[in-house]
Amino acid sequence: MPSFAADVKNALSRTDVDRACCQTAELAALLRMGASVQTDGARGAGLRFTAASAAVARRVIRLLRAMDGAIETSVAMERMPQLRRRTYIVNIAAGAAVTPLLAQLGFAGGSLRSTSDLALLRKKCCRAAYLRGAFLGGGSVNRPEAACHLEITARSEEMARALHTLLRRLHFPVGLTDRHEMYVVYLKEGDAVMDFLSLIGAEEAAEEIEVARNLKEVRAQVNRLVNVETANLQRAVDAAADQLAAIERLARSGRLAALPADLRETAEMRRAHPEISMAELAALCHISKSGMSHRLRKIRKASEEEQD
Ligand SMILES: [Zn+2]
């Protein structure tokens, strides 16, 4: 996981959620993203939640305790050498307290898949909390300097579709794709990524992205200006080269001396200053730019007549 995304999640894990309705919504989304039901014979259903970071594991425990202080939890760390990282497992022991909790979270019948979370999403505050839970459970976001991209990877297509629908209803330009048997809901537009982060409570991250985006825009603008100037300079150099070639042709054939005084003056000035622009040449000859343009056209025409 990129460190910017980890920082965002750590900050989100520390935010306070005061309303019970929002705690339930966030916890439900977190559990849908990373929990599986563990049935334990006579004791009934428990849950096993897998978190990518200690902060997220702590968040789940905190939300569980807020809902029901009697819930028993234990945490284990597992190393995943092939991914060079650790995961944190929160075990919620099977027992009498768990079943009503699961029902309250919308996991009717102990299943993590069968129920829709619509009941949890009636209020605006809860929708934001639900999305925060989903992001904490499976989200990632590019660092501000990179191209704007935020995604939530769900293990089930049902959860991915639910997130996709919810984000679309909130008018986010959201995409949905599958990748290695995972389902990815993503945002690619800078405004959408910033709005999403603000919505779920990661205002600082949204600001960092905005600052980086403004810098990128300034840089692009400077590059465009440099490109325009380079093109202008190239045009001026090409034009000066053409003028010098015409003047040399006239000089070689002896017709330069026969030109009117103003054209001779211009030709001498150009030979003396091959590198300057037409505007600078005009200033040296104390005439207007259009006057200089007119003289240069006459010189070119005279050199072309010479060739016939
Ligand atoms: Zn709420």
pLDDT in 10s for each residue of the chain, 308 residues: 558 999 999 999 999 888 999 999 999 999 989 888 887 777 777 888 998 889 999 999 999 888 877 788 888 888 877 767 788 999 988 877 777 777 777 665 555 554 567 778 888 999 999 999 999 999 999 999 999 999 999 988 888 999 999 999 999 999 999 988 899 999 999 999 999 999 999 999 999 999 998 888 888 888 888 888 888 888 888 999 999 999 999 999 989 999 999 999 999 999 999 888 899 999 999 999 999 999 999 999 999 885 55
Burial category of 124 from C-beta neighbours within 10 Å (exposed 0-12, middle 13-18, buried 19 and up): exposed
CA of 121 to the centre of ligand 1 (A): 8
**Would you state the pLDDT for residue 112?**
58
Among 116, 79, 98, 86, smallest CA distance to 38 is for: 98
Distance, CA of 125 to CA of 19 (rounded, Å) = 9
**Would you state the pLDDT for residue 300?**
93
Structural contact between residues 58 and 13, judged by C-beta atoms closer than 8 angstroms: yes
Among 259, 235, 234, smallest CA distance to 246 is for: 259
Distance, CA of 155 to CA of 75 (rounded, Å) = 22
**Cα 217 versus chain centre, distance:** 13
CA of 132 to the centre of ligand 1 (A): 12
CA of 107 to the centre of ligand 1 (A): 18
CA of 105 to the centre of ligand 1 (A): 13
Burial category of 222 from C-beta neighbours within 10 Å (exposed 0-12, middle 13-18, buried 19 and up): exposed
**Angle CA 252–255–259, to nearest 5:** 135
**Would you state the pLDDT for residue 113?**
52
**Domain 11-201 belongs in CATH node 3.20.20.140:** no
CA of 23 to the centre of ligand 1 (A): 7
Residue 1 in 3-state DSSP?
coil
Say which residue the tokens 């902060």 belong to: 55
**Would you state the pLDDT for residue 114?**
42
Burial category of 214 from C-beta neighbours within 10 Å (exposed 0-12, middle 13-18, buried 19 and up): exposed
Say which residue the tokens 């995304």 belong to: 5
CA of 22 to the centre of ligand 1 (A): 4
Counting every residue written for the chain, the total comes to: 308
**Would you state the pLDDT for residue 263?**
94
**Would you state the pLDDT for residue 65?**
87
Say which residue the tokens 């935010």 belong to: 15
**Would you state the pLDDT for residue 60?**
94
The DSSP code for 201 is: T
Distances in Å between the alpha carbon of 142 and those of 152, 175, 252? 12, 16, 65
CB atoms near residue 208 (< 10 Å): 19
Strand partners, 175: 186
CA of 65 to the centre of ligand 1 (A): 17
Contacts of 213 (CB under 8 A, 6+ apart): 144, 148, 190
In which residue ranges of the chain is CATH 3.10.28.10 found?
11-201
pTM summary value: 0.73
